[in-house]
Structure 1
Amino acid sequence: MNQPNDWNAEAIDKVKELIKGMDTAMLTTISDKGPVSRPMKTQEVEFDGDIWFLTKKDTSKYQEILGNRNVNVVYAGKSYVSVRGTAEIVEDAAKKKEFWNPVYEKMLETSYDDPNVVLIKVHAAAAEYWDTGSMVKSAISLVRKITGSSKDTHLNETVELDGRQP
């Protein structure tokens, strides 16, 4: 797991707060025909700058990640969060067992120790979010836009999560 630097701990905490409880995300990879998005179940691990998914090697997303590690992960629910990052294929048996649950057995029609099962680890570089979770905050923002007030309510921001440039 990443240990956040002081400079990005606040940004990581903000993204963690916004995506908490949203267990499905849209993972976008790059195919030879362009971007492809599909719903994926996020692993139940606290966001620390990395997002984890389970998949199989015999999928197009696996091949697409091997060809281009740049990905995007989008959460939509109480807020909207778009995370840009790089994907890594992880074949760690202990990590697969840690994340495995009986639902996957049915969904993927296999077990965690199947060599075809892999993890996708997305290392987040930046996130853009729209914090719509608070009706009061949204109403204040709307009033400020209508009245021309210059105070910002931070409903939409982009935060850097990693010092590396993707």
Structure 2
Amino acid sequence: MEYEDELKRLENIEKLRGMIDKIKTCMLTTYDTHQEFHSRPMGTAQVDVEGNIWFFTNEFSPKVAEISLENKVSLTYADTSNHVYIAVNGTAYVVDDREKMKELWNPYVEIFFPDGIDDPALSLLRIDTESAEYWDGSASKIALIFKMIKAAVTGKKYEAGDHEKVDL
């Protein structure tokens, strides 16, 4: 049974990796010092094989201060044109690993950190994913219209696409 559970976990990670790689940008939500939720857009650097999600960040940013007080976070990805939505819950860690930074570095990051890898404020943010939920209605428009018509004719509830909650 453990083997089957691990295989399912790896399949879930690969599904999420593929979906997130297509969307890239999410809203990272933290809990701020005023006991309110605070969200901001973040560009995903990587979803690794363990399901951890990596971002570049400024070590002195408000999000890092918030994470130092409460490191439970939420990520929300949305591709409205393809009807794909992902909600991720996890634990955030600030990581100072120059080798990992070199591995993940790309020209887009340089826009925010023109001093490159040597920028003293440059850090990584790793989200250890605990659970995720996704809605994937990316089937062709014809297939979606067919499902709507079928629901109307049969009187059954319209199901737009795949929806699953997964623990990682």
TM-score, normalised to structure 2's length?
0.80
The aligned amino acid for 2:128 is H
Whole-angstrom distance in 2 between the partners of 1:49 and 1:76? 18
| Counterpart secondary structure, 2:22 | coil
Deviations 1:54-77, CA, capped at 9 Å, x for gaps: 011110011111111111111111
Unaligned runs of 5+ in 1: 162-166
- Percent of pairs identical after alignment? 34
Asked if residue 159 in structure 1 is aligned to residue 166 in structure 2, the reply is yes
Q: How far is 1:127 from its partner?
A: 0.8
Kindly report structure 1 stretches of 4+ aligned residues shifted beyond 6 Å: 150-153
Q: Which residue is equivalent to 2:121?
A: 116
Partner of 2:21: 20
- 1:118 Cα offset (Å): 0.6
Larger radius of gyration: 2
- Who is 2:52 aligned against? 50
Find out whether 1:29 has 2:47 as its counterpart.
no
CA deviations on 1:16-50 (whole Å, 9 max, x unpaired) are 23223212111111102311111111114556411
Q: Which residue number in structure 1 is paired with residue 86 of structure 2?
A: 81
Q: Which residue of 1 aligns with 2:132?
A: 127
Unaligned runs of 5+ in 2: none
| Cross-structure match for 2:62 | 60
Cα distance change, pair 156–137 in 1 and its aligned pair in 2 (3 A): farther
Aligned to 2:96: 91
Count of residues paired in the alignment: 158
Is the contact between residue 148 and residue 158 of structure 2 (CA under 8 Å) also seen in structure 1? no
Cα root mean square deviation, aligned: 2.5
Contact 1:144 1:150 (8 Å CA) reproduced: no
